[in-house]
Structure 1
Amino acid sequence: MEKTMIDLIGNTPLIKLKYPSEITGCNIYGKAEFMNPGGSVKDRAAMGIILDAEKNKLIEKGGTVVEGTFGNTGISLTMINNSRGYKTIIVMPDGASLEKREILTNLGAELRVVETKPYSDPGNYQHVSRRLVEELKDKSKGSVIWANQFDNTSNYLIHAKTTAKEIYNQLDGKIDGFTCAIGTGGTLAGTSVGLKDLDKNIKIACTDPQGARMYRYFKDSVLEVTGDPSETEGIGQYRITKNVEACQVDMAYHVPDSEAFELLYKLIKTEGLFLGTSCGVNIAGAMKMAKDLGPGKNIVTILCDDAYKYFSKMFNKDFLISKKLPMPDWFEK
């Protein structure tokens, strides 16, 4: 049977994380989403968005997909679009890593980099991408769609259909808790909905990086920022997106950058896992959840992507010093 690029998305392994499991007395597992063909969990959202657009006849061969993204969703969309005959235009804030810009350019996406601004500012990359779609629709003869990963519910629905069921089956239904951070909200929402449909007793936690509002939202029903802006990428939300609305959350945790980065460097040495910045937040949250649920529990989180996209941050001495972040101990040898 012939396979296409899109058939390779999903069915990623579940890895038991030795160090986090040992110090918490629980079994902490990471869903290895960095093994998707586009290198991140965002392959699933991109797949859901494009397949639904095709199903609803919103895009046709030669059409254009526009999206505002910190990078991973853009990479996933570009790979899928290339394989299906669509053009991709990506609007990216300048705070995203240089590595992601290079990947998108090398994949053939049209990249437009804008100044990093908050969602309340009309110059925010999400607003810029939406306006660009409106302009292109007026000029273009072909189909133009806005992927709109933040408020397109195809995002969370694909996780309910795939990610949740995979996790449940991989542990033979023996799962006590799931947690991950929120970027668009799609991964947490879809996985929470899917898991609770299978077993309502599974606990779901939102793990929030510093500088975001979801920790206070789920803990105290207040949209309030906790901590300074984060240097992690692709996570940390200020508003209630359509995907966040679907989240079924029981508890919430806050993880500062220093804790996340230190854990990532530790896991390179203890697990041989070379993980991206958001993974540090997710695993730290899983460890906090494990302590709350008690020993012997099975906790799952998402290993979103790898560290290759973050060399300019994670392994840049000057950057780490300027942000007062920990650095790998082998840098000092």
Structure 2
Amino acid sequence: MSVSDHILPNVLYAVGHTPLIALQRIRPDNGVDIAIKLESVNPGGSIKDRIATALIESAEQDGRLQAGGTIVEATAGNTGIALAMAAAVKGYHALFVVPDKMSPDKIAILKAYGASVRVVPEAPRNDEANYQNIARRLAEEIPGGCYMGQFEQEANWLAHFHSTGPEIWKDSNGKVAAVVAGAGTGGTITGVGRYLKKQNPQVLVIGADPVGSIFTGPVAPFKIEGMGEDYYPDTLDMAVVDQWIAVSDADAFAMCRRLAHEEGLLVGGSSGAIVHVALNVARSLPPNALVVALAPDTGRNYLSNIFSEGY
């Protein structure tokens, strides 16, 4: 089949150019606007689609990943889903090591793409039972295995510097006053923050962080998936973040339900945390300012927990 200008060669070409959507009801009364960058419309359902191809191509270029090889990664779910989708397109096998707090919905999606999944209990980073350490060992043991290293690879934050950041700047006509994002690997907030501050050094970069994550400390268990850590990843530039604001699991999940009920936006727990923080930030800004909240993934990944009765 010949590919026309209106037919994409494969699903990976559909990644990016996600919309900014203004919140109509969940907003302060001081004339400040909040817009969500809705990353769930990416074909794999999350912002992590943006880094999957970049990570794979980086591994191909430096020879770590060969034809017919196996992609191995430690993931809270969305990077795994994005890599599984890309692996299917590119003809690679895929194996993911995930923490046991990950939603069953995400695990089912990984398997639906044909990936293998190993679920492990949460453990400190310096413990050999930590999911990242297990993934590294498996990549070394499996013939043709390649550890993607989303927590270390520059390709992670560069993907956002070259796509997510420019999209926000263009679609807001350069009027964004503050951007709120979470940080797991730190790639999103680093890449977006560096790009926006290059355009306008006055743009505020705010990190939303689960209570229990090291970025606002002290470290303790938390339920929000895909953001927060117990150490500082190589891909996180702390200097680009103007302020970190902690948010509880309860406040994050309550905002998820508000977004679904009041705005028609079904998003995940990290998005709820980010919008909760964005609303507080917006209250401190002057009228007509614009706050952009990055909403990383879809709420369909959390129907069995966040959106189930009694959770």
3-state SS, counterpart of residue 196 of structure 1: helix
Structure 2 CA distance, aligned partners of 1:9 and 1:29? 20
Matched, 1:63 2:69: yes
3-state SS, counterpart of residue 252 of structure 1: strand
3-state SS, counterpart of residue 305 of structure 2: helix
Task: Structure 2: give runs of 5+ residues left out of the alignment.
Answer: none
Query: Superposition pairs for residues 154-193 of structure 1, below 5 Å?
Result: 154-193=155-194
Matched, 1:12 2:18: yes
Structure 1 CA distance, aligned partners of 2:215 and 2:284? 19
Q: Deviations over 1:240-264 (max 9, x none)?
A: 1111136501112111112111111
Matched, 1:272 2:264: yes
Per the alignment, residue 256 of structure 1 pairs with: 248
Query: Superposition pairs for residues 113-128 of structure 1, below 5 Å?
Result: 113-128=119-134
Q: Deviations over 1:19-57 (max 9, x none)?
A: 233445311111110000100011112122112222334
Per the alignment, residue 151 of structure 1 pairs with: 152
Shift in Å, 1:295: 2.9
How does the TM-score come out when normalised to structure 1? 0.88
Query: Superposition pairs for residues 20-31 of structure 1, below 5 Å?
Result: 20-23=26-29, 25-31=31-37
Matched, 1:233 2:225: yes
Query: Superposition pairs for residues 311-330 of structure 1, below 5 Å?
Result: 311-318=303-310, 320=311
3-state SS, counterpart of residue 269 of structure 1: helix
How does the TM-score come out when normalised to structure 2? 0.93
Whether the 8 Å contact between 2:28 and 2:283 is mirrored in structure 1 is no
Q: CA RMSD in A?
A: 1.6
Per the alignment, residue 104 of structure 1 pairs with: 110
Whether the 8 Å contact between 1:188 and 1:247 is mirrored in structure 2 is no
Structure 2 CA distance, aligned partners of 1:23 and 1:40? 30
Per the alignment, residue 327 of structure 1 pairs with: none
- Kindly provide the amino acid, as one letter, of the partner of residue 41 in structure 1: I
Shift in Å, 1:225: 1.5
Whether the 8 Å contact between 1:24 and 1:287 is mirrored in structure 2 is no
Structure 2 CA distance, aligned partners of 1:155 and 1:246? 15
Matched, 1:294 2:286: yes
Q: Deviations over 1:210-248 (max 9, x none)?
A: 110112xxxxxxxx326x522111111121111113650
Whether the 8 Å contact between 1:68 and 1:90 is mirrored in structure 2 is yes
How many pairs does the alignment contain? 305
Q: Comparing 241-250 with 71-80, which one deviates more in the overlay? A: 241-250
Structure 1 CA distance, aligned partners of 2:207 and 2:88? 34
Per the alignment, residue 277 of structure 2 pairs with: 285
Whether the 8 Å contact between 1:179 and 1:204 is mirrored in structure 2 is yes
Q: Choose from 36, 48, 55 the match for 1:49.
A: 55
Whether the 8 Å contact between 1:193 and 1:246 is mirrored in structure 2 is no
Q: Choose from 50, 72, 78 the match for 1:72.
A: 78
Q: Deviations over 1:105-134 (max 9, x none)?
A: 111101111112222322111110011112
Structure 1 CA distance, aligned partners of 2:73 and 2:203? 34
- Kindly provide the amino acid, as one letter, of the partner of residue 277 in structure 2: G
3-state SS, counterpart of residue 133 of structure 1: helix
